[in-house]
Structure 1
Amino acid sequence: MAQQDTPKKLWGGRFAEATAASVEEFSASIHYDARLYRQDIMGSKAHARMLAKQGLISAEECTAIVDGLSEIETEISEGRFEFKPELEDVHMNIEKALTDRIGAAGAKLHTARSRNDQVNLDFRMYLRDQVVLLDGLLAEGQGAFVRLARKYLGAVMPGYTHLQRAQPVLLSHHLLAYFEMLKRDRERLQDCLGRINVMPLGSAALAGTGLPVDRHFAAQELDFPAISANSMDASGDRDFALEFLFCLNLVQIHLSRLAEELVLWSSKEFDFVRIGDRYCTGSSIMPQKKNPDIPELIRGKSGRVTGALMSLLVTVKGLPLTYNRDLQEDKEPVFDALDTVTANLSIIAELLDNTEFNLERLQGATHGGFMTATDLADYLVCKNMPFRQAHSVVGKVVAHCQDRDIELIDLTLDELQQFSELLEPDVFEVLTVDGSVNSRVSPGGTALVRVQEALDQAEKYLG
């Protein structure tokens, strides 16, 4: 059967043949870039006002364009607008609908503008909106950690290195570590926003325009604090999207680390946490199972988000200046990663608010594993013993305890003094879990006084 062709595009005067239907289908992006419609319309309205200000269109034409775009925006938001795949993308769908409604004035909208700077503009405005959304979700996540830290203030647990019990810490201290991760995520996104928030409109296809445009006026209309400095760079730049994706990756990695701990801690081997039944699932065959599916899914989706970053990095790595059609592949990975991280952030605070800690189990896990050995070494350092020597002495004490299957706190003073005469009766104060925790008074440490300060600061930060 002969290939059916579709009508020529709006700019098809150069071509003798209509575009093949298979090419239209292959190259269409409307199925995913339709989500940029608000930004596209906002940018077009500002562009029209700039054209009118510069005398490139009349005031009446500008009014017709702006009013027509407002009608189209309402129809899209209400689901009454028909996007046509043969028009490829959101930009041409909106422009064609506008021209059909208001005639020649609509055809003037693209004056001094290319789809190259238009799509870059839309993408930047969309991402800066998403930074605001993500910041709110990250703040909600921080709030969940703060609430748990306040609820369980004073509870102790084992701190781990290499997944081996290392030193006792406050549970609240552990929880506030994730608060700090999300705080960096928020700061990183705000820093990224500075590079997103640069207006490329006016760069046109690659060389700028010879028409008398006012880029600063358009930037002010669209609330951009800066305009791009080089038209060739701007038309093909996707650094801002890559940086945004990297920020998403770190958010996701932080959530994945939390998810891994929740998976481990909810197992019977640890039994540190109990996730609410509504956030777990059962087994299709084993009636006793309660599976931590939400943390597992969050952990699993990390590959998807990392894959999105790798995808866009590879897409842009070999592109010559300026715009190349390869860059149509920029939005799908960003949108997918964004949707994934947004969904994860949306549910994590809810899950945390429905998680309880098994304090008896946490407290019990601090007994065993010689977790106050470092405190014993620090005690000797305070008696003027060089740390490396103290480290060696305590290592011998630990080996002695292992041979006898006892803990440090089980030793008598006479037994301890066999290893060093510097050990005196007050040594037992640092061998207890509470003594160990509350000795860690260095800024950022796990002592109750420091964790209370950190919690107060976190609550102040969140307002």
Structure 2
Amino acid sequence: MLSEVGVLTREEVKLIETGLEEIRAEIASGTFPFRQDLEDVHMNIERALVERIGDVGRKLHTGRSRNDQVSTDFRLWIRDSIDQIDILLIDLQRSFVDRCSRDEGVILPGYTHLQRAQPVLANHYWLAYCEKYERDRARLADCRRRVNQLPLGTAALAGTSIAIDRQLVADKLGFEGLVANSMDSSSDRDFAIEFAFALTLIAEHLSTWAEEWILWSTCEFSFLRVPQAYCTGSSIMPQKINPDVLELTRGKTARVVGNLQALLVLVKGLPLAYNRDLQEDKERVFDSVDTVSACLELAAAVVAGAELNREAISSRLEHGYLDATTLMEFLIGEGVPQRSAHEIIGRLVGSAMKQGVPLAKLSLDEFQLAHAALNEEVFEVLGVEHAISAFKSVGSTSPERVSEQVALWRERLGSVNN
């Protein structure tokens, strides 16, 4: 750009580029001699360049400051990280969608307050996480638009009197636009904090998933077998198989949350414009990216390799009166007000609990005694399989609706098992 506006000659540009490439190769190989007395990485590189190509190297810093250069570099790094994490999120979504072929038709108990509530298809559960990670992807994409604004050329504080072409630089580096105010340019890290927030929500979603699967892998639930490669044994109890990767995923969420909090506190009292406090921003963001990336990579593998314990699930599927809400809605369909229907079915559940039987084992006389509308057709909605088939609303666990959603997700993600 400096050459295009006449600040550098073509020959000077060639010298600078050659010198910088040599320095980059030495840094990559670990042979570059960093010197403590030269303040920072910028001055080390500039001094090395001057030693290689002479006074032409002193022109490198024209029209910019370390302030806007750091902001530019950080944005470039975050932009690349967003793209990489987006790929990892897609891989995790595919792992869930690819389960849908082998788990089709499997019914799980759904919970609220960790109490059995209503039956759901396993595929409905898998797609619930696809939706969460899709919103994470959308947040990253939205964040990327604000990250992808070029600060370079705004210099230290007020801009520069040199007739530079910032738009040319933006085009060369793939930025969508220019940071419009030179004081704002290097003084804020809202783009980094927004990225850290998006990473925190990803970590929270991973932690929720990990917590559920930790519970599911216990003897008390026995819903799930976590792949042995992602578990460890006990040092003293030979029967133990501990879901360590899931526990670490849950635990490492605390680091990501802490990093976000540290960034928010870091900038809370900074005056315009640049302050050296901002040097503390990168370690937090780097750590969050490393942590979330590792958790996403492992999550995709765990999801792909886990196996549902179908026998254990089905053996207790009728426990907990999962079909009670469907029976209540049957009464609503017969014209009974919702609150009245709720009370009637509640009494029937209480009666079944006393007898130690599911609702479907109550007699027709008991149903008729509770309400005349509860005729022999109730047995067509009782039981988890009938209850599942009764769902109709968009977004529900209706087999038809879920099949539609699975097809949409496969098309969207290009899932392997089409």
Q: Under a length normalisation based on structure 2, what TM-score does the superposition of the two structures give?
A: 0.97
Report whether the alignment pairs 1:70 with 2:21: yes
Give the match's secondary structure for 2:233. coil
Using a 3 Å threshold, how does the CA distance of structure 1 residues 238 and 147 change in structure 2: closer, same or farther?
same
Distance in 2 (alpha carbons) for counterparts of 1:255 and 1:90: 36
Give the match's secondary structure for 1:51. coil
Report whether the alignment pairs 1:100 with 2:51: yes
The equivalent of 2:212 in structure 1 is: 261
How far the C-alpha of 1:353 sits from its partner, in A, is: 1.8
The equivalent of 1:295 in structure 2 is: 246
Report whether the alignment pairs 1:357 with 2:308: yes
Using a 3 Å threshold, how does the CA distance of structure 1 residues 152 and 106 change in structure 2: closer, same or farther?
same
The equivalent of 1:270 in structure 2 is: 221
The one-letter code sitting in structure 1 at the alignment partner of 2:351 is: H
Distance in 1 (alpha carbons) for counterparts of 2:373 and 2:104: 35
Matches within 5 A, 1:434-453: 434-453=385-404
Give the match's secondary structure for 1:167. strand
Using a 3 Å threshold, how does the CA distance of structure 1 residues 336 and 198 change in structure 2: closer, same or farther?
same
Using a 3 Å threshold, how does the CA distance of structure 1 residues 424 and 235 change in structure 2: closer, same or farther?
same
Distance in 2 (alpha carbons) for counterparts of 1:397 and 1:83: 79
Distance in 1 (alpha carbons) for counterparts of 2:108 and 2:119: 6
Using a 3 Å threshold, how does the CA distance of structure 1 residues 303 and 164 change in structure 2: closer, same or farther?
same
Matches within 5 A, 1:163-242: 163-242=114-193
Answer yes or no: is the 8 Å Cα contact 2:139–2:198 preserved in 1. yes
Which of 324, 337, 341 is equivalent to 1:386? Answer: 337
* Stretches of structure 1 lacking an aligned partner (at least 5 in a row): 1-49
How far the C-alpha of 1:252 sits from its partner, in A, is: 0.5
How far the C-alpha of 1:85 sits from its partner, in A, is: 4.2
Q: How many residues align?
A: 414
Which of 225, 232, 237 is equivalent to 1:281? Answer: 232
Give the match's secondary structure for 1:165. strand
The equivalent of 1:25 in structure 2 is: none
The equivalent of 1:153 in structure 2 is: 104
The one-letter code sitting in structure 2 at the alignment partner of 1:185 is: D
Matches within 5 A, 1:366-405: 366-405=317-356
How far the C-alpha of 1:86 sits from its partner, in A, is: 4.1
The one-letter code sitting in structure 2 at the alignment partner of 1:377 is: M
Distance in 2 (alpha carbons) for counterparts of 1:87 and 1:348: 44
The equivalent of 2:60 in structure 1 is: 109
Distance in 1 (alpha carbons) for counterparts of 2:387 and 2:35: 68
The equivalent of 1:21 in structure 2 is: none
Report whether the alignment pairs 1:252 with 2:200: no
Distance in 1 (alpha carbons) for counterparts of 2:244 and 2:331: 47
Distance in 2 (alpha carbons) for counterparts of 1:203 and 1:390: 68
Answer yes or no: is the 8 Å Cα contact 1:158–1:365 preserved in 2. no
Give the match's secondary structure for 1:157. strand
The one-letter code sitting in structure 2 at the alignment partner of 1:291 is: N
Answer yes or no: is the 8 Å Cα contact 2:318–2:383 preserved in 1. no
Answer yes or no: is the 8 Å Cα contact 1:144–1:353 preserved in 2. yes
Give the match's secondary structure for 2:2. helix
Distance in 1 (alpha carbons) for counterparts of 2:343 and 2:225: 40
The one-letter code sitting in structure 2 at the alignment partner of 1:365 is: R
How far the C-alpha of 1:211 sits from its partner, in A, is: 1.1
How far the C-alpha of 1:450 sits from its partner, in A, is: 1.1
Answer yes or no: is the 8 Å Cα contact 1:150–1:455 preserved in 2. no
Distance in 1 (alpha carbons) for counterparts of 2:182 and 2:198: 26
Using a 3 Å threshold, how does the CA distance of structure 1 residues 85 and 428 change in structure 2: closer, same or farther?
farther
Give the match's secondary structure for 1:267. coil
Distance in 2 (alpha carbons) for counterparts of 1:250 and 1:286: 36
Using a 3 Å threshold, how does the CA distance of structure 1 residues 269 and 118 change in structure 2: closer, same or farther?
same
The one-letter code sitting in structure 1 at the alignment partner of 2:244 is: D
Give the match's secondary structure for 2:242. coil
Give the match's secondary structure for 1:169. strand
Matches within 5 A, 1:1-80: 50-80=1-31
Distance in 1 (alpha carbons) for counterparts of 2:152 and 2:308: 53
The one-letter code sitting in structure 2 at the alignment partner of 1:387 is: Q
The equivalent of 2:384 in structure 1 is: 433
The equivalent of 1:19 in structure 2 is: none
Distance in 2 (alpha carbons) for counterparts of 1:444 and 1:97: 62
The one-letter code sitting in structure 1 at the alignment partner of 2:333 is: C
Query: After superposition, what is the alpha-carbon deviation per residue over 1:58-105, rounded to whole angstroms, capped at 9, x for unaligned?
Result: 221111111211222233333333434444443333222222211211
- Structure 1 residues 191-200 or 433-442, which shifts more? 433-442
Question: Bigger relative contact order, structure 1 or 2, given CA contacts below 8 A and separation 6+?
Answer: 2
Report whether the alignment pairs 1:127 with 2:78: yes
Report whether the alignment pairs 1:83 with 2:58: no
How far the C-alpha of 1:448 sits from its partner, in A, is: 1.3
Query: After superposition, what is the alpha-carbon deviation per residue over 1:34-53, rounded to whole angstroms, capped at 9, x for unaligned?
Result: xxxxxxxxxxxxxxxx1111
Which of 383, 401, 411 is equivalent to 1:460? Answer: 411
